[in-house]
Amino acid sequence: MTNPNIPKSIFADARVDAGFAKLDRETDQTRSPSYKLAFQDNDFLLRGDLRPVRFQLELLKPELLMDEAKIGSTFVFYGSARIPETGETSAHLDPHVARRLEAKAHFYDEARALAKLASETAPDTDGTRQFVVCSGGGPSIMAAANRGAQDAGADSIGLNIVLPHEQAPNGYVTPSLSFQFHYFALRKMHFLLRARAVAVFPGGFGTFDETFELLTLIQTGKIKPMPVLMFGREFWTRVVNFDALVEEGVISPGDLDLFTYVDTAEEAWGFVRHWYDHAS
């Protein structure tokens, strides 16, 4: 039996208590930093020995907000922040490098198309949303993913990271699902907590970091296998000699089955659908 007269909590809301802390007069004691409420004291929260607490907060805040948004699973997109959209140029770069990047512009289109397909997944009967597009929140491939979700009229997630140079989330990320991280480790954890499929587009150090950590987690049994879709066989086999890793004995032949090469959005989405249609 539920009784509406029984309060959920007998303690005051923290915001109310914070209001009580505003005194109508100041003294030497109340002016001291030691008197500030701990959760309102930025200098205290940013101390080096408070790092474990900041880790907890950075893990908890996105988790709570995504729970409240009824996000059951995500389709994660990794990839370069430098590949231009079709028709754009990279004139400020070495001409050879610019041509190589511009030749990859079709991956922007494929990321956008795949994100649209994933975002058209109907929610569960209780409203829980599946295969919500999640990117790093930046430009290029990341923007293409969030843009594809917007094409479908769906929300999408952006996990931005604080960097020494100024940056902002791309304009296609749903504002209420746009998150900023200080710690790369916590950001990578949130990439995978709800991930049920990952699309990996050509990219650099960041893409390699995220992708190889994902493959390691599956290889070691830390997480269950899921579709890991490597877009662009030509690119990946040129920059990483996976077969040589097998020949050198540092990975097993079966480890090459942890990922699948694809070239188009339709091929990738078909693989994901088949994977879950036949999951036991």
Question: pLDDT tens per residue, the chain (280 residues)?
Answer: 567 788 888 887 888 877 777 767 788 988 888 988 898 899 999 999 999 999 999 999 999 999 999 999 999 999 999 999 988 877 678 888 989 999 999 999 999 999 999 999 999 999 999 999 999 999 999 999 999 999 999 999 999 999 887 678 999 999 999 999 999 999 999 999 999 999 999 999 999 999 999 999 999 999 999 999 999 999 999 999 999 999 999 999 999 999 999 999 999 999 999 999 988 6
Q: Please, is 253 exposed, middle or buried when counting C-beta atoms within 10 Å of its C-beta (0-12, 13-18, 19+)?
A: exposed
The structure's pTM equals 0.91
Nearest one of 49, 61, 74, 62 to 130, comparing CA atoms: 74
Give SS3 for 75.
Answer: strand
Nearest one of 14, 170, 15, 5 to 77, comparing CA atoms: 170
* Helices and strands per DSSP (H, E), number in the chain: 12, 7
What's residue 204's pLDDT? 97
Task: Report the 10 Å Cβ neighbour count for 134.
Answer: 33
Residue type, position 60, single letter: L
Buried b (16+ CB within 10 A) or exposed e, 76-111: bbbbbbbbbeeeeebeeeeeeeeeebbebbebbebb
Q: Does domain 55-277 correspond to CATH entry 3.60.20.30?
A: no
Apex CA 98: angle with CA 94 and CA 266, to 5°?
Answer: 160
What's residue 102's pLDDT? 92
Torsion angle (degrees, nearest 10) of CA 208, 186, 225, 202:
-20
32 — phi, psi (to 5°)?
-70, 140
Residue type, position 36, single letter: K
Rounded-to-integer distance, Cα 236 and Cα 99, Å = 18
